[in-house]
Amino acid sequence: MKRPISLQLLLVLCLFTACGANFDRAAMLEDLTSRVIVPAHEELERSTAALSAALDAFVTVPDASRLAVARESWRSAARAWSGVELYALRETMVLHGQIGKWPVNVPQIEAIIGKTGGPLPNVAQVAASGSPLKGLFAIEYLLYDPSVDDAALSARYTSDALAARRAAYLSALGGDVHASSTTLRVLWSDGANNLGARFAEAALDGGELNGSISMLTNEAIGLLETMANEKLGAPRGLRSYGAPAPESAQAWRSASSAELLTANLESIAAVFGSGTSAAPTGIAAYPYLPRRAGAC
């Protein structure tokens, strides 16, 4: 499955330089930045703010209703994350790892929670830790456990001997993922040298207008391959000699892997085109598309 996806999109990339010489690529990039990319990052910032607040409320009073709100807030933030996962450019790769690294390192997370003595986990400690110990999927691990019921999970934050440390860690994870999401949004939309402006002006790759388009297309190829090989292939047995490995799915604990895959696809669709055939937007607006016989 990997190779056909790559070949199809690489063919599209090659066509960029072959057709539409008079097309206003700069206007298209400006439209994509303002209409799709920046709003997606603003939504991630909003949703992680709501998630952080919901986690703080839950650890203050770890009851069933607040657990449900925290979980729904997590799902909203994870969907928003899947909507920006496409934009893993050089300038954003580190932040992407801090927000959406998976799988997480469960033994090390439990070691942090189980450490005796010293201060409770805090945002500064989480910020300084490695990507497999934080982010949205570390939060998922602490909010979901299919092996126990909700009462038993909530008890980990009330009567368990490590309840205070687990609660502090969960709260700190929420604060850190919101801080990283804000930093990412600022990178794309604020200041005279922001990434969004440089992307729209194609000032990222040699100053060529095709530079931004090429990088975005390459990221789409990479995300589709990750979806095919890691998010779908591995759970179906691609790496286990055909034996299904459901716990290798991206969000198996919350049973939301398919939901996040859908958000990935929607983000790619938003970049590649919308609108009508008479007035297409996004990359679909390029005049190279074969809308009629012999058209280029």
pLDDT digits (tens, 9 = 90+) for 180-198: 999 999 999 986 668 988 8
d(CA 94, CA 171) in angstroms, rounded, equals: 22
pLDDT at 8 over 60: no
Between 219 and 294, name the one with better pLDDT. Answer: 219
Is there a domain that residue 116 lies in? yes
Answer whether residue 75 is part of any domain.
yes
In which band, very low, low, confident or very high, does the pLDDT at 80 lie, cut at 50, 70 and 90?
very high
Q: Which CATH number is 278's domain given?
A: 1.20.1420.20
CA distances from 57 to 71, 109, 203 (A): 12, 21, 43
Compare 280 and 78 and report the one with higher pLDDT.
Answer: 78
Strands (E), 103-207: none
Mean pLDDT value of segment 14-36: 69
Segment holding 274, helix H or strand E: strand 274-275
State residue 210's pLDDT score: 55
Please tell me the total count of domains within the chain.
1
Asked, for residue 290, whether it belongs to a domain, the answer is no
Q: Is residue 29 part of a domain?
A: no
pLDDT of 79: 98
Is the pLDDT at 292 greater than 50? The verdict is no
- Categorize the per-residue pLDDT at 75 as very low, low, confident or very high, splitting at 50, 70 and 90: very high
Q: Residue 16 has what pLDDT?
A: 44
Strand partners, 275: 280
pTM over 0.75: yes
Structural domain including 85 reads 2-17+50-285
Find out whether 97 and 134 touch, Cβ atoms under 8 Å: no
Residue 33 lies in a domain: no
Taking residue 20's Cβ as centre, other Cβ atoms within 10 Å add up to 17
Return d(Cα 186, Cα 106) in angstroms, integer: 31
